[in-house]
Structure 1
Amino acid sequence: MGIDRMDGMLEDMQPKFNLNIGDELMLEVKEFLRLLKVLKEPLHKHTKMSLHAFVPRIMAIK
């Protein structure tokens, strides 16, 4: 089953926008990349569920 991952799409955009890893990033870009990283981390030490999985579940309950 293929999963459409946003981080993969962002990596695909890198050559189009000439984004180099060594370039100094704007504050907004740094914060966005930090948020992407946090999405993959577990919510707390007692679960393996990430924020990326948790938010859609909560929205479905609503």
Structure 2
Amino acid sequence: MKYLAIVVALLVLSACDSGGESEPEPGAFESYTESQQQALEKARELEGQLQEASEKRMNDYE
């Protein structure tokens, strides 16, 4: 469960805008969305690993 909280925190941080800039740099939006996509892919990967570990742990108790 701790890992899920970390993943959620990373997703929230990646979704936050840095702010403070009135004019975005050219191409900034593309790199921002690319960063979000990478964070989302990593979160999905970690979620899968967490699910596998949880299932393995449940099987160990049986």
Highest RCO, 1 vs 2 (Cα 8 Å, sep ≥ 6): 2
* Higher CA-based Rg: 2
TM-score bracket, shorter-length normalisation: 0.3 to 0.5
Question: TM-score normalized by structure 1?
Answer: 0.36
Provide TM-score, normalisation by structure 2: 0.36
Structure with greater helix share of residues: 2
